Amino acid sequence: MSEQQRVVELMERAIQADPGTLQPTTRFTDLEGWDSMGMVDFLGSLYDELGVALSIDDLL
């Protein structure tokens, strides 16, 4: 699995979307269920599983 696919999978998990729902081109602002808790979950998972640290400002 590519790193890009893994990021999409982490995003799906953060918003509790079915696997395969999102695409790499999906925008955060277009996601139903994307809220502050989803963002925190995604950021934590991104760091824990891929070692990537982003700030909330990086996502906005």
Give residue limits of the domains in the chain.
Answer: 3-59
12-50 pLDDT, tens digit each:
999 899 999 999 998 878 888 788 888 889 899 999 999
Q: How many residues does the chain have?
A: 60
Whether residue 8 is predicted with pLDDT greater than 90 in this model: the reply is: yes
> What distance in Å separates the CA atoms of residue 38 and residue 43, rounded to the nearest whole number?
9
Give the Cα separation of 49 and 38 in Å (integer): 16
Give the three-class secondary structure for 41.
helix
The pLDDT value recorded for residue 44 is 93
Please say if the pLDDT value at position 51 is more than 90.
Answer: yes
Token pair for residue 36? 């502050």
pLDDT given at position 33:
77
Task: Tell me the chain's radius of gyration from C-alpha atoms.
Answer: 11
- Report whether pLDDT(1) > 90: no
